Amino acid sequence: MLECTDLPPHAHGLQQEFELPIFDLTTLATMIYITDFSQKDGMNEAWLSWLPAEHLPTRATIGVADLGEGVLIEIVVTAAR
């Protein structure tokens, strides 16, 4: 199962550096790279539980052959204050 329910470890540092909750940012667009398209339904489920339905950003999901050892998913987020 792909897990998207936690912020990455560096997000808390960004939150402190800019003195704002990370969710005060508006997510404008995302690009999601996955190595196993058979996991897309699970990724979608985690995605919808992570972001409010009324604020879903534009999203592209792209299947790739390899993201590195043990890496199943990579998400690139474009956000603004």
The residue-averaged pLDDT of 6-12 equals: 57
Question: What DSSP state is assigned to residue 65?
Answer: S
Is the full-model pTM beyond 0.85?
no
Between 45 and 53, residue with greater pLDDT? 45
All structural domains of the chain with their residue ranges = 9-80
Buried b (16+ CB within 10 A) or exposed e, 10-49: eeeeebeeeeeeeeeeebeebebbbeeeeeeeebeebbee
Please name every residue paired with 61 in a beta bridge, in sequence order, or none if there are none. 32
Question: What DSSP state is assigned to residue 57?
Answer: P
Q: What is the pLDDT of residues 13-36, one digit of tens each?
A: 666 776 655 555 677 788 999 999
User: What architecture is the 9-80 domain classified under in CATH?
Assistant: 2-Layer Sandwich (3.30)
C-alpha 36, offset from chain centre? 16
Q: What is the pLDDT of residues 47-74, one digit of tens each?
A: 887 777 777 888 999 999 999 998 888 9
